[in-house]
Amino acid sequence: MRTLIAAATLLPTAALAHPGHHEDADPTHLLTQPDHLGTLALIVAAGVAAWVLLRGRS
């Protein structure tokens, strides 16, 4: 539970992306910019934390 709270607390800071328009950006753009990588890492961490917490409830 603490992991999800930490991720929810840190997620808004990851939204501070570099300036510019992303309408024409290709998908590899997500893997070349550190701010996007941080956002993806937080999303994956939240998913893993949810899986770990919920797998024992069945």
Give per-residue pLDDT as tens, 15-43: 566 677 777 878 888 788 877 887 788 88
On the 0-12 / 13-18 / 19+ scale of CB atoms within 10 A, 6 is middle
Domain around 33: 1-56
Amino acid at 40: L
Name the domain count of the chain. Answer: 1
Q: Are 36 and 17 in contact (CB under 8 A)?
A: yes
Residue 17: the pLDDT is 60
Q: 27 phi and psi, to 5 degrees?
A: -60, -25
How far apart are the C-alpha atoms of 36 and 8, rounded to whole Å? 16
Which pTM does this prediction carry? 0.57
